[in-house]
Structure 1
């Protein structure tokens, strides 16, 4: 059978105040085009459909239309909730999803059997999929309580609870002639975060070892980390990565979806298909004169300016580069204060403290200190 594995759409993402709504429409349209060309039997969306737990109506429309379009290609579609999604809200969409032939699992409920999904391809290949949405620490414990934990077991780590849950859910694995699949939204120890996942759920307390996956799984489709990568594990395990760079920390990632060919008696073969319809994210640096040579009209830019700080510098840069979403002084231009003793705050006036700040940033712009005095006096008088 053939699988299209994607994750971390983050629909609704706003980058430095700039909406990416149109980009998401183009990106997901390209994912659908790939599905039409590759003809997968199953599409797995491994979490983080949305960028926020309270998506707008426009974001909901984009996601539901994309899922419906993927289903119309003839593939069976399974999507799970990620840490950015509102699991109960995704579960509330299940009546719509079931009517559309789409399987949604937003959260882990009291009935573990709901996380076991079975199907059959048009050619008669049988498959079973364990679908594990993102679980926070407390919900991981609650999910494990289904299995009558002792007090000592209840106090074990997040990884222990996830391992126990997956072990229990995958008990049916092993039936001859059936393709065993698993999808989850979590962090694997040793995997590369890819520079952009900013949630606390990437810290080691939420990381699990790849050894939690059963050896007899034919493929494990992961979401949560945005860089496409293979994971060393007892079975074929992969992050598909995000189909677009979510922030400037991910500009080196290559957005893609994974196409997986697998059979009950053959090892999974995976290839990445690039997604090219989103704007690239690029970091450029230089003086104003050097920035005049930058020619990246189709990219969102982070600009590191090699100039002394001054009033109006940001505006000058954005006039040169209208697609500059972030403008900062190049850190290499900042004076080093290593080893210097910081001045004491006690007994010093706000003007003196502000003057120290300007000095530390190399800002000698005339009138800035006087303007601070005027603003401080105005605020103090109002108070």
Structure 2
């Protein structure tokens, strides 16, 4: 059996005001090309199809067309909701998806059968897939209660609830069948990619790899944007995002995973790079150093400028490097926290004096900014 594992498309992503629609079109077209070349039996999209719970019509068209194109390669297609997705909205698309031969699972339902999918490859090999969309802490408890959680178990942690759910859903994993799990989770020991929503990635949302059964032949995860294997009782993998979502992911290699496995053999995984997106790069330097860089070099830029803060600096940097979407002062150029603390004496001081102290604490000695503050403060105070 061959599987194409992809996740974290984040269609609709806007990066510092820059639309990435054209990049997503190119990236998803390349993912479809990989599917045409590899001819997988099954495509798993492990969550975060969208970047927001309220996607635009354009984003919805792009996702539905990509899913349809993947189905058009002859593969079975299963997609689950992630923490960025609106699970109920994905479920509302199920009539369309079922007509198109695509399986969507946006939220956890009260029937275990909804989340245990079965199929057979063209060569006659049976497979069974547990499809578990993202669950918030509150809904993890509620979902576990659907499967007869006891009063004592109701006080357990998020990881306990997830482990119990997977245990119930995977209880019919047996020999002679390729047993699979698709989930949108943070697993303890995995490395974040740099652009994830931290509230849904750390602390109570991290689960141990032991929530997955040893009888699983492959666990296809979404949520963390860096492709990586996770040590556990069975093969567990994040395929990563097919494009860098934010500048913190500039060092990642966008990819999809191609998995070959049988009921009797261990999963073999190959990462296939996806190169269609514009790379995200971070550069540092003074204005003189930045002026020597090629302004037409491909890539969206995050610039750490080694200059004292002043009004208009961002515009000067962007005049040199038009593809600079984010401009920051290099942290080494900022005063120490001790200097900032000494400037924080507020008692009996005017707003102008306080603002001047703040500028001084940030190394931003610019009379023009102070004059602008005076003008704005006078306008606000007189209304």
Q: How does the TM-score come out when normalised to structure 2?
A: 0.97
Relative to structure 1, is the Cα distance of residues 89 and 282 closer, same or farther in structure 2, using a 3 angstrom cutoff?
same
Q: How much has 1:342 moved relative to structure 2?
A: 4.8
Q: Hey, what's the Cα distance between the residues in 2 that align with 1:373 and 1:318? A: 28
Q: Which runs of 5+ in 2 are unaligned?
A: none
Q: Hey, what's the Cα distance between the residues in 1 that align with 2:287 and 2:381? A: 38
Matched with 2:255 is: 256
Q: Which runs of 5+ in 1 are unaligned?
A: none
Matched with 2:93 is: 93
The Cα offsets for residues 155-186 of structure 1, whole Å up to 9 and x where unpaired, read as 11111000000000001101x31100000001
In terms of mean alpha carbon deviation, does 220-229 or 285-294 score higher? 285-294
Q: How much has 1:338 moved relative to structure 2?
A: 3.1
Matched with 1:324 is: 324
Matched with 2:358 is: 357
Matched with 1:113 is: 113
Q: Hey, what's the Cα distance between the residues in 2 that align with 1:299 and 1:27? A: 15
Alignment RMSD (CA, Å): 1.1
Q: How much has 1:112 moved relative to structure 2?
A: 1.4
Matched with 2:368 is: 367
Matched with 2:23 is: 23
Matched with 2:150 is: 150
Matched with 1:170 is: 170
The Cα offsets for residues 92-146 of structure 1, whole Å up to 9 and x where unpaired, read as 1111001101000001011111100000011101100000000111111111112
Matched with 2:336 is: 336
Q: How does the TM-score come out when normalised to structure 1?
A: 0.97
Matches within 5 A, 1:45-84: 45-84=45-84
Residue pair 2:309, 2:364 contacting (<8 A) in 1 also: yes
In terms of mean alpha carbon deviation, does 43-52 or 291-300 score higher? 291-300
Q: How much has 1:151 moved relative to structure 2?
A: 1.7
Matched with 1:279 is: 278
In terms of mean alpha carbon deviation, does 77-86 or 360-369 score higher? 360-369
Q: Secondary structure at the match of 2:152?
A: helix
